[in-house]
Structures are given as C-alpha cells and as structure tokens.
C-alpha cells in the first residue's frame, strides 16, 4: 500500500448517495466536477448520479465500477460509482423533491454496503449524503437517522458501541448528549451515566486528533444552568457530578455553564481565541443552532464512537430546491476534507476514532 503524507494507509473514501430525490446526488456531482472529491467512490445508483450531473449542467463522466480498486484507473474528476445489488434499474425516474419509500430503501442499502466495505478494510472512511427520515420510515427502516443506523450496523460486529454526534466547523465543535428524540424524552435521557459517557467519548476522540488534553466545556440544560436549582435541578443531580467524575479521570472538563453564553466563549475566531476546544450540549437544538448560525455551509457532522470514520454535511435533503442545480456543495466538501484528515490520523494511530470506555 502507498501512504498519505507518509503516515497512513491510502484507501478510498466512500460517499453514500443519500436520498435519490434530494440534493445529495447533486452536491456529490458538484464536488467531483470541482475536483474536491478525488480519492472518493460513490456508493449509489449510476442512473441517479448521471441525472444529477445533467442537473448541474456538467458534462463530467460517471463510471460504473465493479470493485473499489477499479477507481484508481479512472481519469481525474470522473465519478466512480459502485452500485450495490438490489437497486432498481429505473431509480433515476423517481420524482425529485418528494418523499418516496423506494428512495429511502436504496439510501439504506447504500449505507449498509459502505459499512460492509469499510469493515472489510476496503474503505478509509464514510461520508454520507443526506437521507430523509420520512422516506426511511416509509420504507420500513426502523431508524430515525444515520447515527442510529450506523450504530446498529457496528453492533452486528461485536456489541453496540456508544456513539455521539459531533457538529463542527472552523470555529466551534459541539458534541451532543441526546439527538433524535422529542425534547421531553431528551430531558429524561439527561443522566449521570449519559453525560459522563459523552465527556469520555469526546475526550478520547479529541486525543486521536492530537489534542492531548482537550478543554471540554459542559453546557447546562436549564436557563442559566439551573441557577443553583431555581430553574431545574438536572445540573445539580446529574451534570455537575458527571463533570466531577470526568475530572477525577484526568479529563479537563468544566461547567456546567449557561447554555446561552458558553458557545460564544468557546468560539474560535479572528481576534477571539476560544476558551474551550469542545462544548458538550445536552440536547440536539442547543448544540446545533450555534453551529448552523456560524456557518451552515461549512458545518460537518462527525459520529464519534464508531470503529470507522464517518462524516456528513450538516444539512438535509432540501427537497424544496432539489433538481434545480442550486444546491451548495460546501458542507459536503468540508465533510470530505474532515474524513480525509480524521482517517489519516486514525490509521496513523492504529486505533479507532473513539475508543472511550463507558460507565
């Protein structure tokens, strides 16, 4: 095998096509047309990707390959597509911008195939284009999103790993304790064990990126982090004890901080070095709103805790603009860059991206 920067095995990054009726195929086509997806292979449907190339007004070639190794023989900017079995031949005829069970089923098949290839050592990392949760549900796929599906696929090979979603940009990194559940359920999931596990997973992942002692800020759940119990006692009962336990393990964790100000303190910007490297947020929207506000086009989702690197753009299928050619590929290209960086570091370290112990 050749090497990347002399440090890591050179393997292809796998991009899953996402929902065939959304913008995923279009932003993938733009990434290849712009030269931002070299060293990548799309796991998807050839007809859908060719439709996407036409949609963006490109004349770039799409080549169906039989094995990942075939991709290395293709000219630059040609999109190599590895098509799993069981894909309908007429998938490219599905109406764009609508929920369709067939698109949900194919999106799941592509994810499963990419994971199998990566587990077999044939892929360096997985970058997932957006899927639609309603389409998954219509197809009978019992997962609310990528994170839960990937966790389940990893569980088939030695027990379910504890995973967490991290959203990051050049200015901010946020790791979530809870994700795709109702707010009422999320509050019920704020426990000592869940908060401590999240801190541990974030610290272990950051150590793989070369941060020997990452500064981890833990946001509270309630306004003003509970104000000493006046506005809720989750900080006193669960969050503060978990922080203390993490500090007892040598992790530089602090808080709980008021969630309406901690992200500003952690932000890394010109003339404003952030006070923290990572913020732990208790709920999905607490953590995602600041990331998306600071730079929706540059946000990247990273799943921590999996035995392989997985990144994705920080947006959905955008049915309202699908098929217009207007979709912005910058978040996808940022996800590809992040996958390259993290997979190189992972291979160099000869270990998983996140090997945190759990309570």
Domain with 147 in it: what CATH number? 3.40.718.10
Residues 218, 271 within the same domain: yes
Residues 147, 296 within the same domain: no
Whole-number Å distance between alpha carbons of 197 and 302: 17
| pTM, to two decimals | 0.85
* Residue 10: cis peptide before it, omega within 30 degrees of 0: no
pLDDT at 223 > cutoff 50: yes
**Between these two residues, 51 and 295, which has the higher pLDDT value?**
51
Q: Among residues 264, 280, 304, which one ends one of the domains?
A: 304
Q: Are strands 300-304 and 216-219 parallel, antiparallel or unpaired?
A: unpaired
pLDDT at 5 > cutoff 60: no
Residues 70, 155 within the same domain: yes
6 within a domain of the structure (yes/no): yes
What pLDDT does residue 7 have?
A: 36
- Mean of per-residue pLDDT scores for the chain: 88
The answer to which of 112-121, 171-180, 215-224, 349-358 has the lowest mean pLDDT is 349-358
What pLDDT does residue 358 have?
A: 34
What contacts 27, CB < 8 A, 6 or more positions away? 129, 313, 327, 328, 329, 331, 332
Q: Are strands 300-304 and 79-82 parallel, antiparallel or unpaired?
A: unpaired
Residues 189, 132 within the same domain: no
243 within a domain of the structure (yes/no): yes
Number of structural domains found in the chain = 2
pLDDT at 6 > cutoff 70: no
348 within a domain of the structure (yes/no): no
What pLDDT does residue 344 have?
A: 81
For the chain, percent of residues with pLDDT exceeding 90: 66
Query: Over the range 290-311, which residues count as b (16 or more CB within 10 Å of their CB) and which as e?
Result: bbbebbebbbbbbbbbbbbbbb
What pLDDT does residue 354 have?
A: 46
Residue 72: other Cβ atoms inside 10 A: 12
87 within a domain of the structure (yes/no): yes
Give the structural domain span for 313.
Answer: 1-159+308-318
What pLDDT does residue 349 have?
A: 58
What pLDDT does residue 357 have?
A: 38
pLDDT digits (tens, 9 = 90+) for 330-356: 999 999 999 998 888 766 655 444 444
Whole-number Å distance between alpha carbons of 355 and 343: 14
173 within a domain of the structure (yes/no): yes
For the chain, percent of residues with pLDDT exceeding 70: 92
80 within a domain of the structure (yes/no): yes
- Name the pLDDT band for 1 (thresholds 50, 70, 90): very low
345 within a domain of the structure (yes/no): no
């Amino acid at each position: 095998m050749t090497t990347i920067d002399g440090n890591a095995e050179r393997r292809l990054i796998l991009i899953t096509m996402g929902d065939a009726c959304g913008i995923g195929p279009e932003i993938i086509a733009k990434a290849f047309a712009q030269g931002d997806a070299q060293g990548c292979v799309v796991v998807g449907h050839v007809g859908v990707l060719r439709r996407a190339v036409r949609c963006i007004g490109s004349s770039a070639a799409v080549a169906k390959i039989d094995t990942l190794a075939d991709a290395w023989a293709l000219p630059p900017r040609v999109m190599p597509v590895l098509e799993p079995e069981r894909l309908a031949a007429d998938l490219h005829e599905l109406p764009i911008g609508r929920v369709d069970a067939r698109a949900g089923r194919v999106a799941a098949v592509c994810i499963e195939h990419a994971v199998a290839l990566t587990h077999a050592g044939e892929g360096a990392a997985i970058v997932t284009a957006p899927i639609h949760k309603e389409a998954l549900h219509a197809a009978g796929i019992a997962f609310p999103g990528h994170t839960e599906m990937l966790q389940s696929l990893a569980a088939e090979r030695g027990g379910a790993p504890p995973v967490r979603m991290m959203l990051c940009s050049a200015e901010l990194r946020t790791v979530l304790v809870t994700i795709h559940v109702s707010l009422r359920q999320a509050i019920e999931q704020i426990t000592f064990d869940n908060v401590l596990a999240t801190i541990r997973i974030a610290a272990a992942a950051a150590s793989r990126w070369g941060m020997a002692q990452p500064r981890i800020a833990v946001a509270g759940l309630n306004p003003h982090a509970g104000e000493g119990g006046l506005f809720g006692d989750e900080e006193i009962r669960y969050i503060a004890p978990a922080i203390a336990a993490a500090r007892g393990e040598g992790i530089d964790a602090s808080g709980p901080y008021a969630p309406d100000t901690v992200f500003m303190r952690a932000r890394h910007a010109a003339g404003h070095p952030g006070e923290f490297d990572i913020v732990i947020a208790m709920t999905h929207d607490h953590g995602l709103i600041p990331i998306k506000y600071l730079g929706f086009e540059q946000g990247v989702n990273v799943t921590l805790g999996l035995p392989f690197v997985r990144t994705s753009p920080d947006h959905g299928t955008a049915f309202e603009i699908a098929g217009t050619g207007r979709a912005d590929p910058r978040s996808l290209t940022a996800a590809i860059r992040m996958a390259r960086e993290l997979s190189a570091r992972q291979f160099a370290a000869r270990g998983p991206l996140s090997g945190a112990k759990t309570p």
